[in-house]
Chain A
Amino acid sequence: MILFILFSTITVKAFDTPNDGGGSITIKAYNVPETVKKALVYRKTEGDTTYTLAGVMSILSYRYVDADSTIKNGKPYYYRVDFYFPDTVISVVSDSPGIAYAQWYDKSKTSSLIFLIVFSTLVLVFIQLAKKDPEGLYIRKIPALDAIDEAVGRSTELGKPTFFVHGLLGITDAGTLAALTILRRVAKKVAEYDTPILVTNFDPIVMTASQETVKQAYTEAGRPDAYNEKNIIYLTYEQFGYTAGVDGLMVREKPGAIFLQGYFFAESLILAETGHSVGAIQIAGTTAKEQLPFFVAACDYVLIGEEMLAASSYIGREPVMLGSVKGADWGKAFLMGIIGIGVVLGTVGAILQSAGNGALMNVFEKILAFF
């Protein structure tokens, strides 16, 4: 009798699965005794006389998401859950039918939406402001980018070629795009100084983009005749083959300046070490944070992570670009503000809570849960 009372407290609810495109109903059980061994979910719809097995409910979360392909939006479905106990089976029917709907907005993504709006607004506003007042824009010194002229210059003095080594990712990678901007600057200097350049590529698409970039840079420098497509070479689409190829070129050609730009993997160290051993000035840049230590230790200048992504703004100094950098900076300020507020709220809340007032702590936990 006692057992019966215990079991009869189980309730089952069926409801539309939130934040989805429809076609799914969530079934949740409440007050389930821990002794349950198994729980099977059965479904029927209007017109059906018997329930059919839908699936197995998790006996830890007591939830089952029924996304069977037969479920139609707007139609009621009735559920029964059979709970298996060591000595008995209890069937519980959901107190109301579940109806699936499609949602127009995914509430679980609100935090992303807010950030997206804040961040894009900041970037767009600062781009507009920059267009109006191009004078008031500032960007801090990035030594690695300032050193481009010096490196190419020294290489010219020594009568040695300049190398530009692309990373291993394709053109959709932000780092590769930044590398192309840097290549343009390097190629322009090379054209001005009339010194040879060699660009090595891992990816054929990046290679075609590099060819165009170098060609344009030579034209900008007023020396389109000096451009030679053969200087932009495709090596191979294989990590260690590429490394061996670049290494061999470095040892043979003994460049005076080497640019290692883009996303690198384990080969970063081999390239930087060989480059150092031939006595070149090395300027590296990558967004691969695992490889940054090796570049920092073995190269003369390094563009660290986001510094590289800001390169196009730094080199071009176009108001629109600088505006977007400024917008991103305000985004950082915004994030730091949130972290700061979070820390203050958390600390004060914790102190107040130990003094008996948990209200602020609740606010804090809500904020944490928001992310």
Chain B
Amino acid sequence: MHISTNPWVWIAAILTLAIYSFLYKDNPFYKFAEHLFMGLSIGYGAVVLWYNSIIPRLWNPLAHGTSPSRFYLLIPIAIGLLSFGIFSKKYSWLIKYPLAFSVGAYAGFSIPVTFEASIFEQISGTILTKQMMATPWLAISNLIMFVGVITTITYFYFSKHHKGLLGKSARTGIVFLMLAFGASFGYTVMARISLLIGRMQFLLHDWLGIIK
């Protein structure tokens, strides 16, 4: 056994144990670690927001920029400030302005971006090419993949009765969906357990030095 002499390892280990104590029951140690974690990560988030957004996007252009158009940046700041209206009963409707802009902008951006990034990419991946049919096994696999795409889409067909061919296809689509969910389930479980193992190795190796 080689117990760590590094105080930071000790701090990390104690905090790790404090969080695990939640598994027994909610207790002051867990609450302590949880609140510390919340405070640190919000503070961290604030620093990241400050240095990655506010400084390069607002401060630098406004303070050091030369182009006259930089003062347009004051408009979104003014709109953004309206958000703080929600803290007052009387002026809470002011938030509708930044909201209206955000929703409009987000919707506007998402339309072409969704086409390019999600739809086209998925479709061009689904259209079977010659390479995808190179061997019989590959051909069968890709055919199954193709059926999976089509039947899943038909499951999300809302404006028609799901009966007859559409009904059968939608039903197959659900089965495909469940198989896919099962696969993704298995993978996610694996990842979470890997994390747990990582933490345990930290406790047993880095901190207590029980395992080599």
**A interface, CB within 8 angstroms of B:** 109, 111-112, 115-116, 137-140, 142, 171-172, 204-205, 208, 236-238, 240-241, 244, 248, 289-290, 292-294, 296-297, 304-307, 310, 313-314, 322, 325-326, 328-329, 332, 335-336, 338-339, 342-343, 346-347, 350, 361, 367-368, 371
Give 18 A-B pairs besides A240-B38, A329-B158, A329-B160 with Cβ atoms closer than 8 angstroms.
A138-B159, A241-B38, A244-B34, A290-B188, A293-B182, A296-B178, A310-B158, A326-B159, A328-B158, A332-B156, A335-B123, A339-B127, A339-B149, A339-B150, A343-B127, A346-B130, A368-B127, A371-B124
Question: Is A238 a contact of B126 with CB atoms below 8 Å?
Answer: no
- The 9 lowest CB-CB distance pairs between A and B, nearest first, are A342-B127, A293-B185, A293-B181, A172-B106, A371-B124, A371-B120, A326-B159, A306-B156, A329-B159
Contact mask for chain B residues 172-212; partner A; CB cutoff 8 A; 1 contact, 0 none: 00000110011011001000000000000000000000000
Q: Quick one: CB contact mask for B78-108 with A, threshold 8 Å, 1 for yes?
A: 0000010010000010010001001100100
Chain A residues, Cβ within 8 Å of B150 = 336, 339
B171 within 8 A of A: no
Helix, strand, loop or mixed for chain B's interface? Answer: helix
Residue of A nearest to B157 (CB): A329
Whether B159 contacts A172 by the Cβ 8 Å rule is no
Q: Is the beta-carbon distance between A347 and B128 smaller than 8 angstroms?
A: yes
Partner of A368, one of B37, B99, B124: B124
Contact assessment for A137 and B159 in the assembled complex, using a CB-CB cutoff below 8 Å: yes
Which A residue's beta carbon lies closest to that of B183?
A: A293
Binds A, one of B10-18, B54-62, B111-119: B111-119
Tell whether B42 is near chain A: CB-to-CB under 8 Å.
yes
Q: Is the CB of A112 within 8 A of B116?
A: yes
Count of chain B residues with Cβ under 8 Å from any Cβ of A?
A: 48
Task: Give me 22 A-to-B residue pairs in the complex whose CB atoms sit less than 8 angstroms apart, sorted by A's number.
Answer: A109-B112, A112-B120, A115-B119, A137-B159, A138-B160, A142-B158, A172-B102, A237-B42, A238-B42, A290-B184, A290-B188, A292-B181, A293-B185, A293-B188, A306-B156, A314-B158, A322-B159, A329-B159, A335-B123, A338-B123, A346-B127, A371-B121
Q: Which of B42, B83, B123, B154 contacts A371 (CB 8 A)?
A: B123
CA distance A205 to B115 in the complex (A): 28
Inter-chain contact B159/A335, CB cutoff 8 Å: no
- How far apart sit A361 and B131, CA to CA, in the bound complex (Å)? 13
**How far apart are A265's CB and chain B's nearest CB, in angstroms?**
11
